[in-house]
């Protein structure tokens, strides 16, 4: 199963009011494990950079001025994401910007039904509390020391770790592993753990008459009866 963890950076908050994309970062996951295959671009927004947005991601208009425009990158972006599920934190924000850019470039927009919103997942798993990416990383012990400023590719890599934890962490990735395209599912060996024995065995729930009747029944089955391996000659259970 292929999924794409995605994040964007922008010039502001409203794609319908002139704000534009400036960065896209995508991380590929297969069977909930990152593959190392990524898509990362900086984009010329064809406008100025408000100070508030620069303070968030540190991308200046001067830095972006020689970067390609979205229309020149649209086909490469669409080819990378294919028709696979997109995993996004606060997905409505990113999809709103992506679809505005795709529509402007005359490309098909992204359907909402192919998107997993990790913010919605987090709110169901941790109701009543803040569920920003920073809060979730702290909650799950994910190292965020590299995150001095927001960056689309780095945030996608961190979100991939958060997503795995939201689905149950490492244990979830091991359950049902792994069906390869050209092979049958592999069985994963697990270490057997001996059952703990009671320090004092429970007393028998059989009466003496019931025990004697059972022993007589076993004797009537002959010497080769398998029950002889489990019942002693005096009618009490064998230690075997």
d(CA 149, CA 54): 10
- Return the pLDDT at 235: 46
What's the half-sphere exposure (Cβ side, CA atoms, 13 Å) at 89?
25
Residue 233, pLDDT > 50, answer: no
Nearby residues of 49 by Cβ (< 8 Å), 6 or more positions away: 11, 22, 59, 60, 61, 64
CA nearest neighbour of 151 among 5, 53, 1, 9: 9
- Return the pLDDT at 175: 46
d(CA 196, CA 155): 46
List the domain boundaries for the chain: 2-174, 203-240
Q: What mean pLDDT comes out for the span 84-99?
A: 98
Nearby residues of 94 by Cβ (< 8 Å), 6 or more positions away: 6, 7, 8, 88
Rg (C-alpha) for the chain, rounded Å, is 30
Query: What's the pTM value of the predicted model, to 2 decimals?
Result: 0.70
233 phi/psi in degrees, rounded to 5: -65, -20
Segment 10-52, tens digit of pLDDT: 999 999 999 999 999 999 999 999 999 999 999 999 999 999 9
pLDDT grade, residue 211 (50/70/90)? confident
What's the chain's average pLDDT?
A: 84
- 156, two tokens: 């996608």
Asked whether the CA dihedral 94, 98, 103, 104 is positive or negative, the reply is positive
Q: Could you tell me which CATH number the domain at 2-174 has? A: 3.30.420.10
d(CA 162, CA 100): 27
User: Which residues belong to the active site?
Assistant: 150
């Amino acid at each position: 199963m292929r999924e794409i963890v995605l994040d964007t950076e922008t010039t502001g908050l409203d794609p319908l009011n002139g704000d534009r994309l400036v960065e896209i970062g995508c991380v590929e996951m297969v069977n909930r494990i990152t593959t190392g295959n990524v898509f990362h671009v900086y984009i010329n927004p064809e406008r100025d950079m408000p100070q508030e947005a620069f303070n968030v991601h540190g991308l200046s208009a001067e830095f972006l001025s020689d970067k390609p425009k979205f229309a020149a990158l649209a086909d490469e972006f669409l080819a990378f994401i294919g028709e696979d599920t997109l995993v996004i934190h606060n997905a409505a924000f990113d999809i709103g910007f992506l679809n505005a850019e795709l529509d402007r470039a005359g490309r098909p927009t992204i359907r909402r039904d192919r998107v997993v919103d990790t913010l919605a997942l987090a709110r169901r798993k941790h109701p009543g509390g803040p569920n920003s990416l920073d809060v979730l990383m702290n909650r799950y012990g994910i190292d965020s020391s590299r995150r001095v400023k927001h960056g689309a590719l780095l945030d996608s890599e961190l979100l991939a770790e958060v997503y795995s934890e939201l689905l149950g962490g490492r244990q979830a990735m091991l359950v049902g592993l792994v069906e390869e395209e050209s092979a049958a599912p592999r069985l994963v060996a697990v270490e057997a753990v001996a059952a703990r024995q009671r320090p004092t065995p429970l007393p028998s729930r059989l009466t003496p008459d019931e025990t004697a009747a059972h022993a007589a029944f076993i004797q009537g089955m002959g010497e080769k009866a398998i029950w002889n391996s489990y019942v002693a000659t005096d009618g009490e259970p064998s230690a075997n």
